[in-house]
Structure 1
């Protein structure tokens, strides 16, 4: 009988969870982009326990850093499943070297099925990670745009408040700066609304992929149960023959 030679890879080093996202706390990064006036008001508010900029961005971002970490962990899981799939494929290829016959062929087929299942799971987890990253990219882009618009509002307020001439000009132009501020705020609101068209389809894609993963897991469980039942019968036959 030949000696089985296998080159298997330990998935352990790949399966290292991430406890925080790669971008860090996004809202803290955006504080500096909102302008001096808004930063100053935010600083005063935080002395009294109220986070003004957080209140503006939290409804858009949610727990951005935690979701970023989750997306990274889905990607890590996909890599780990890919390693397991490669190991199963190696076992299926190597089996005929040391085992022949109908039972060997059946075993090889079953291992190949499991390998294919792990490949599907690996691809599925990678797609979920990609969808979550797409949501994060869209959310970050909108938040950066809102921060930039707030910065423009900040500049307008500084110009108007800088001197009596600024207020006189504002009165003479019929509140042009105020209208510009309103326009910028409306643009920020419109930018936030674009997420309504981006996020739901990505969430639906994640939900669909999650259902496929659950179905595949159930298939694995049924296959394992059938194999265990068959093996149990064979053990009984062996016991009867021996005793």
Structure 2
């Protein structure tokens, strides 16, 4: 009863108010649309511009690239050419993972397959040299060349050896081509070691692991071993630009190392 009387009182007051407005010719207020809360500007808040996407270094002409990017681009060129070749010098199987706790690439060299005969005995004494690029991703002493043990008189050597290269996470998340170069040599104590073949593996996309024991459960990667492809074979503009940078110590060192490998391969090509 009390609630009903209250409602009747409210309606009566509203009716009397309407009568008063009509009598005094007072127009009702126009309806004001409500502004959505999210569209209200906060003038006191600082304006934060949208981040611009990073420009892909490969869109730049070689002359404007940084040396480390040129080296990365060179290895991309080599990897693309390598994928089109048959394993004329045998192949190498391995497993790779990125240890997120320790911050390094774990490389497990498994086995060489059908390696070339370079000794008069009809066999070879192979070992695998392992080197990581570029210099600013693998920047500590662990980035220096590492190698497996030597397997005597074996064309299908089983290594099962683990190697570690400390690196930045960008090596596997950034589109710049961090890479590991595998080079097979035949050990010769008298005349010097003979080049058997090389293969490059690009690291972006490497799977993450919590410890190195998990690397053994990852997919096996099989790389064809080839004699080093000359820059003219892969049409590498990056290599040509690196040759010009005679005042850049990183470019000079890189070119010197590649020239040495090309010279070692000359006798094998004859």
Structure number having the greater strand percentage = 2
TM-score tier by shorter-chain length is under 0.3
Compare the two structures and name the one with the higher helix fraction. Answer: 1
Which of the pair has more CA radius of gyration? 2
When normalised by structure 1's length, the TM-score is 0.24
